[in-house]
A and B are shown apart, each in its own frame.
Chain A
Amino acid sequence: AQKVTQAQTEISVVEKEDVTLDCVYETRDTTYYLFWYKQPPSGELVFLIRRNSFDEQNEISGRYSWNFQKSTSSFNFTITASQVVDSAVYFCALRGRYSGGGADGLTFGKGTHLIIQP
């Protein structure tokens, strides 16, 4: 069975601080994809990044960076110099051949509620 664990239920930091959201996954697939989504109060999930199981290069996009480590089954997300607009719930997700109870459904973590205080 596939599983994604986001141990941090809620994180609160002051604006301009750096913050890292943790994501640990379990899968028996050798080919899989990891995703991060952001869910603002409006409800829709906004796609942030995708990473495949063969690509362990870290990625930076503006203030966002992602660290994928296959050895520890982790795919962590860091926001540098956080801003109030970053406040949202962030989800890590996995898609493998047999995820979500059937092929190709996304398996989500429970999410981390990030609060950026001014």
Chain B
Amino acid sequence: KAGVTQTPRYLIKTRGQQVTLSCSPISGHRSVSWYQQTPGQGLQFLFEYFSETQRNKGNFPGRFSGRQFSNSRSEMNVSTLELGDSALYLCASRERTDLNTEAFFGQGTRLTVV
């Protein structure tokens, strides 16, 4: 089985622009979550989608949004980019949304805002 695929791997954007990141989960997995990783704040949960619906959301401003398609692929969008949005964005897929179901992560998209 192919793992979680995130594209692109690296991205450089200018402050004020918007960006869209893509995540393809493991085949058969219907849950996709997004996490932001920065040196200062560490790994923080952004949101989770299941069957095209957002299940829950972390403590991030409305500039961060996402969606999930019928094939379970997910996109994350950040509008009006700020320098502080520079981070590694990790996507994780799960087969189910039970508490005990482990998440499998992609290699991430490294976003640099200049």
A-side residues, CB < 8 A to B, are: 31-33, 35, 37, 42-47, 50, 52, 91, 93, 95-97, 99-111
Contacts and interface: CB of A to CB of B under 8 A. Distances in A.
Interface stretch (B16-24, B54-62, B65-73, B74-82): B54-62
Contact of B108 (A37, A43, A47, A110): A43
A105 B107 contact: no
A50 B48 CA distance: 20
Interface of B: 3-4, 33, 35, 42-45, 47-48, 55-59, 88, 90, 92, 97, 99-100, 102-108, 110
Contacts of B57: 101-102
Nearest to A107: B45
A97 B56 CA distance: 11
B107 A102 contact: no
B11 to A, nearest CB: 14
A10 to B, nearest CB: 13
B73 to A, nearest CB: 18
Contact of A33 (B33, B42, B99): B99
Given A96-B99, A100-B58, A104-B97, A110 B42 contact: yes
B19 to A, nearest CB: 18
